[in-house]
Structure 1
Amino acid sequence: MASLAVRLTPGAAADRIDGWGTDADGRPVLKVRVRARPVGGEANDALVRLLAKTLGVGRSAVTIDRGGQSRTKMVRIDGLSNDEMRTRITGL
């Protein structure tokens, strides 16, 4: 199981992963943009779909553990190790 910190920006022109950044405490976060608006969980659903497709796992393997109402989220990816998840994202 991999854990991933994500900084989500809803309402973007396109769904995309912008790469790695750092949060206010200096921890690494993956910067992600989605077209969906943060209404009724649509942006979170778009994030789950994008990460599942990018990482090559099923949508049920991607779960938002913390930060459902926040821009910074902790996402769990079942079936991948942290190293494997980073390799797949870095290979984009």
Structure 2
Amino acid sequence: MDMTDLAVTGAEIAVRVTPRASRARILHDDDGTIRVYVTVPPEDGKANAAVAALLAKAMGIPKSQLQLIRGATARDKVFRLL
């Protein structure tokens, strides 16, 4: 799956986040789960911002177009494309 396929206005993107990873990356599991690994710790929203930036870059959109709608303090998050 190409991340640019998800760049549709109103789309909701569910991800599973792993903070403090050795490197930032996005992986797709066989079951369709999108796993996002970021190097920053989950403190003061830093990991959420890093996830949004990584997703936006992968989709080729500005990060201001992504809104976190669920999971601000959880590993499972849902972003909406504005």
> Residue 46 and residue 21 in structure 1: after superposition, are their counterparts in 2 closer, same or farther (change >3 A)?
farther
Larger of the two Rg values belongs to structure:
1
Quote the Cα distance in structure 1 between the aligned partners of 2:24 and 2:80. Answer: 20
1:4 equivalent to 2:13? Answer yes
Other structure's SS at 2:61 match:
coil
Quote the Cα distance in structure 1 between the aligned partners of 2:22 and 2:13. Answer: 23
Which residue of the partner structure matches residue 78 of structure 2? 74
**How does 1:13-92 map onto structure 2 within 5 Å?**
13-20=22-29, 22=31, 28-78=32-82
Aligned residue-pair number? 73
TM-score when normalising by structure 2: 0.82
Quote the Cα distance in structure 1 between the aligned partners of 2:28 and 2:81. Answer: 18
Runs of 4+ in 1 over 3 A off after TM superposition: none
Q: Which runs of 5+ in 2 are unaligned?
A: 1-9
Other structure's SS at 1:45 match:
helix
Identical aligned residues as a percent: 37
> Residue 61 and residue 21 in structure 1: after superposition, are their counterparts in 2 closer, same or farther (change >3 A)?
farther
